[in-house]
């Protein structure tokens, strides 16, 4: 019998009782459209909790926390790099506060976060009026909190010495690497299914990653 994502999360919570909550941090980085933001937030909460309630492990809702972070004075227009620093500081504090025998890198709550900027909100606003689904071009930005840029210049020098030409990709946030540290994912993926599939394996990022502007569906 195949285990459901909800029951898998329940088992993880039982094995790691020191981890108080599951669910991602979601940073609001634009403050121009309160209505779309509120509807997006309500839909994520409602749909994810409804799915859990209908599952074989409804009790995990008690420890679910989509951590919505709003701070117009500090987050409006914040870069992904700045958010990553903020997220790492938050994670370090949470891990110190909840000590135990676990690796933070394999716990999705402590590895990934979600960024909602103006580009994201615009994609959401076009389908937010639909009651049952998101449009195919709606997305949120899903960020790897552990990502670091590689030594591109060193790689380029080595390839030049070997007689190879380095493939030049279009810069994204100034990065010309294949993996830019974040990807676009469909909004419905803010749920137990995607959270569970990323649990326990820090290499799962590679499995799902697609370079923007592609939108990952799962």
- 52: exposed, middle or buried (C-beta count within 10 Å: 0-12, 13-18, 19+)? buried
**Same domain for 105 and 74:** yes
Q: Are residues 110 and 19 in the same domain?
A: yes
Do both 113 and 171 map to the same domain?
Answer: no
The β-bridge relationship of strands 140-144 and 112-116 is antiparallel
Please check whether residues 162 and 56 belong to one and the same domain.
no
Phi then psi for 30, rounded to 5 degrees? -145, 140
Q: Are the CB atoms for 43 and 84 separated by under 8 Å?
A: no
Q: Domain of residue 12: give its range.
A: 5-145+182-216
pLDDT of residue 153: 40
H/E stretch holding 120: helix 118-125
Are 167 and 195 members of one domain?
no
What is residue 163's predicted lDDT score, i.e. its pLDDT? 54
In a shared domain, residues 43 and 101:
yes
**Which tokens belong to 164?**
């190879």
C-alpha distance across the termini of the chain, in Å: 21
Give backbone dihedrals phi and psi of 40, rounded to 5 degrees, phi first: -60, -50
Q: Report pLDDT for 126.
A: 82
Are 187 and 176 in a shared domain?
A: no
* CA R_g for the chain: 18
Q: In this structure, are 10 and 68 located in the same domain?
A: yes
Q: What does the pLDDT read at residue 161?
A: 52
**119 and 74 belong to one structural domain:** yes
Q: Mark whether 71 and 125 lie in a shared domain.
A: yes
Instruction: Give how many domains the chain has, as a whole number.
Output: 2
Question: What's the pLDDT score for residue 133?
Answer: 81
Mapping DSSP to helix (H, G, I), strand (E, B) and coil, where does residue 140 land? strand
In terms of domains, do 55 and 13 share one? yes
For the entire predicted model, the pTM comes to 0.93
Per-residue pLDDT of the chain (218 residues; tens, 9 = 90+): 789 999 999 999 999 999 999 999 999 999 999 999 999 999 999 999 999 999 999 999 999 999 999 999 999 999 999 999 999 999 999 999 999 999 999 999 999 999 999 999 999 998 877 767 899 999 999 999 999 998 754 454 455 555 555 678 999 999 999 999 999 999 999 999 999 999 999 999 999 999 999 999 99
112 and 160 co-located in one domain: no
């Amino acid at each position: 019998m195949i285990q459901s994502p909800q029951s898998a999360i329940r088992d993880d919570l039982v094995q790691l009782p020191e981890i108080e909550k599951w669910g991602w941090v979601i940073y609001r980085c634009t403050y121009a459209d309160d209505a779309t933001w509120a509807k997006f937030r309500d839909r994520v909460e409602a749909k994810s909790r409804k799915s859990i309630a209908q599952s074989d492990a409804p009790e995990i809702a008690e420890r679910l926390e989509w951590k919505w972070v709003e701070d117009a004075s500090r987050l409006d227009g914040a870069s992904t790099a700045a958010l990553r620093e903020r997220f790492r500081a938050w994670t370090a504090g949470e891990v110190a506060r909840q000590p135990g025998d676990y690796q933070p890198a394999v716990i999705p709550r402590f590895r990934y976060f979600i960024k909602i900027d103006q580009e994201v909100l615009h994609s959401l606003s076009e389908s937010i009026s639909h009651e049952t689904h998101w449009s195919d071009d709606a997305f949120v930005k899903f960020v790897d909190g552990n990502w670091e840029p590689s030594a591109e210049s060193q790689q380029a020098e080595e390839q030049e010495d070997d007689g190879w030409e380095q493939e030049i990709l279009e810069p994204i946030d100034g990065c010309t690497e294949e993996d830019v540290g974040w990807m676009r994912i469909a909004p419905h993926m803010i749920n137990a299914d995607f959270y569970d599939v990323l649990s326990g394996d820090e290499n799962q990022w590679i499995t799902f990653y697609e370079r923007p502007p592609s939108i990952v569906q799962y």
